Structure 1
Amino acid sequence: MTTWNLAGMKSHVFICNGSSCMRKGAEDITLAIRDEIALLDLDEQIHTTRTRCNGRCKDACIVIAYPQGSWYKASNTEIAREIVRNCITQENNQHAIYNMKDGKMILNSKVASITGIDKKK
């Protein structure tokens, strides 16, 4: 097993590789994100981790960027590459399902996604 030194990283990108996301192209999304990081020479600034299900299967493929706290619907490789660029500018793009604001997740109504099941019940 590899143990990465993450000192100095500016962003950590989690890429869902759960079964629903994999059926909707998560492998290509993962490769596009990692390729864009390499093309922009950002390997020492952005770390990626493949995850299992992140609980937003109907919005597959899900990509989460921290410390921004943005959850993205990456439906193609160009969106995946744009997410990498946004990690550097620390901006949220139009493909973010959720953005952090004042320490809370805020649903972006401009992105076609489902609200989901209320966790308060």
Structure 2
Amino acid sequence: MATWDLSNTNHHILICNGSSCNRAGAEELTQAIRKEISNRELDDIIHTTRTRCNGRCHDKCVVIHYPKGAWYRDLKPEDAPLLIDSLCADEDYTEKVSHSYDGQRFERSFGVIAGVPKDKEKVNKVSKKL
């Protein structure tokens, strides 16, 4: 396993490769993002990590950008150039943002489902109300 020198890294892209995202094309998305980074010779400043499920299966395919804290939804391989453009411009790819971090908490974008609470007690209360 390689140990990458991250001293010049400005962006860390986490690409969900959990089962729901995989069925929706996560492997193709992962390869498209990595190819775009390589073609632009940005490997030194943009690091990618393939993850397992990030818990937002409804938003598949999910990509998370740190240190900004932006979560992206419904990404397809053809979105790779626009995503990388947005990183290079230090902007969000706003059309695909599901959640953004304001420095204190995550804000959900309009039209994005809230999901279920992580706390099992809250989940049980929600289930009983339904």
The count of residues paired between Structure 1 and Structure 2 equals 119
Which TM-score applies when normalising by structure 2? Answer: 0.84
How far off is 1:38 after superposition?
A: 1.1
CA contact (8 A) 1:74 1:80 kept: no
CA contact (8 A) 1:16 1:54 kept: yes
CA distance in 2, matches of 1:68, 1:8: 16
Which residue of structure 2 aligns with residue 117 of structure 1?
116
Which residue of structure 2 aligns with residue 61 of structure 1?
61
CA distance in 2, matches of 1:74, 1:42: 24
Which residue of structure 2 aligns with residue 17 of structure 1?
17
More strand per residue: 1 or 2? Answer: 1
CA distance in 1, matches of 2:107, 2:57: 18
How far off is 1:102 after superposition?
A: 3.1
Change (3 A) 1:38 1:74: farther
Which residue of structure 2 aligns with residue 107 of structure 1?
108
- In structure 1, give the amino acid aligned to 2:114: T
Aligned: 1:48 with 2:59: no
More helix per residue: 1 or 2? Answer: 2
Which structure 2 residue ranges, 5 or more long, are not aligned? Answer: 123-130
How far off is 1:78 after superposition?
A: 2.1
Q: Tell me which moved more, 25-34 or 86-95.
A: 86-95
How far off is 1:88 after superposition?
A: 1.8
Equivalent position SS for 1:115: coil
Which structure 1 residue ranges, 5 or more long, are not aligned? Answer: none
CA contact (8 A) 1:12 1:46 kept: yes
Superposition pairs of residues 18-97 of structure 1, within 5 angstroms: 18-93=18-93, 94-97=95-98
Equivalent position SS for 2:64: strand
Larger Rg: 2
Equivalent position SS for 1:86: helix
Equivalent position SS for 2:21: helix
Change (3 A) 1:3 1:28: same
Equivalent position SS for 2:48: strand
CA distance in 1, matches of 2:112, 2:71: 11
Q: Tell me which moved more, 100-109 or 61-70.
A: 100-109
